[in-house]
Amino acid sequence: MNDAVIWFIVSGALFIAMALAGSFVARVPLTPSVLYLGVGILLGPYAAGLLNVSPTEHAGFLERLSEIAVIVSLFTAGLKLRAPLSNPRWWLALRLAVLSMVITVALVATAVVVAFGAPWGLGLIVGAILAPTDPVLASDVQVEHPFDTHRVRFSLTAEASLNDGTAFPFLMLGLGLLGLHDLGEPYWWRWIAVDVAWASAAGVGLGAALGTAVGTLVLYLRRTHREAVGLDDFLALGLIALTYGIALACHAYGFLAVFAAGLALRRVEREGSMEAGQSVVPMVPHDAAGAAEVATDPKQAPAHMAQALLGFNEQLERIGEVAVAVVLGALLSPAIFTPKVLWLAPLLLLAIRPVAVGLGLLGSRADLRERALIAWFGIRGVGSIYYLMFVLTHGLPPEFRDLTIGMTLSTVALSIVVHGLSVTPVMSRWGERA
């Protein structure tokens, strides 16, 4: 059988198996991503040999796969975070996504340079790859619904959504120091003006504008003309693709743009619901006529629109989680887990992350227990895989490839396992105490 046939059979069997075992998986004290990772290992070249993927030979495909998974997750996170930007919890998340992330990049880069005598360009690349967090792979630490303002859950969800984009300037700086990207000599003016200032600000601005425009237009058509009803999945896919594409065309960070679009759409819903006096999410009838009635009702239309988009995107997010975790498992090999690179994962998770969170949250309202939870659940996942494939497709020198691949894949895999096994009991115990 050729590879395409194998992929169809494997993916179909896996999706059916997870659907049948869904209730059982929900009861066991681990996250589904751990199971998906194990399936990938069993299907990979060192077990059944059904999935043969290489981080160097298939870097382009893996970059697209992880890229799609990330932007769907970011848009979904934006829809989940209903709190207005004036809420103090946003300040906490911003400190994590900027201050703590910069500290993480600096400490990881220093460790790589000292341990291997590597150039600072490679150190910054590894730091930028491993700095972004990813709560998508541990659903128990995400906000559970749009009205959830639990400080730990909100901070982790918002941090991961923001730092998937704010890590990009450091990745470009690392590539530039290796001669693979124009930094703008002298004084790195192009990196500062374009890669930091313009790309970040334009990404947020474009995403906010498109999310607001599309959300406002849809509500206007539904409320006044009873049009644009149904096909909410097309609306979600269209807004994600349009926002991401325009941001990339304008040399802005698409990750920040997609997240901002989700936030803007949620803001349109929040303001529309407040104006209409609607404080709860409407129950949507199963029949088409009843659903259309709710979708076009002036009071219920905003909440219905946001909830329909969120429901569809959560399904896409789960599919992306399966795909990336299984492929990651297939990428793992005994050669990756060597003492040469394995030291970085415990250093990052047990030392660098707590230090970065502690410094980033100095003087904040979070108590010591909340800071400890935030520090521990700095999960690495899909974003790190994307960044790894990005540098591989952008000409990372051959002498640095194996080292970078080994450090990234081993750290992400170990993070998925240790956090996946600890998230349910730790969060449950903390919830009982709280």
Is the previous residue joined to 186 through a cis bond, with omega within 30 degrees of 0? yes
Using CA atoms, how far residue 235 sits from 99, 215, 238, 288, 312, in Å, is 35, 10, 5, 17, 10
What is the Cα–Cα distance from 93 to 364, expressed in whole angstroms? 11
Q: Give percent of the chain above pLDDT 70.
A: 93
* Best CA proximity match to 366, nearest among 75, 96, 176, 137: 96
Domain borders along the chain are 3-433
Q: What pLDDT does residue 292 have?
A: 73
> 149-173: per-residue pLDDT in tens?
888 999 999 999 999 889 999 999 9
Q: What pLDDT does residue 162 have?
A: 93
Higher pLDDT, 137 or 70: 70
> 16-29: per-residue pLDDT in tens?
888 887 777 777 77
Q: What pLDDT does residue 12 have?
A: 86
> 199-227: per-residue pLDDT in tens?
999 999 999 999 999 999 999 988 887 88
Under the banding of pLDDT at 50, 70 and 90, the label for residue 62 is very high
Q: What pLDDT does residue 46 have?
A: 86
Instruction: Compute how many other C-beta atoms are within 10 angstroms of the C-beta atom of residue 17.
Output: 12
Residue 382 has pLDDT above 60, yes or no: yes
Fold of 3-433: Na+/H+ antiporter like fold (1.20.1530)
Kindly state the average pLDDT of the residues 234-247. Answer: 95
What is the Cα–Cα distance from 49 to 330, expressed in whole angstroms? 9
Buried/exposed code over 111-120 (b: 16+ C-beta within 10 A; e: otherwise): bbbeebebbb
Instruction: Compute how many other C-beta atoms are within 10 angstroms of the C-beta atom of residue 251.
Output: 12
Q: What is the pTM of this model?
A: 0.93
Handedness of CA 250, 255, 258, 264 (dihedral sign): negative
Residue 181 has pLDDT above 90, yes or no: yes
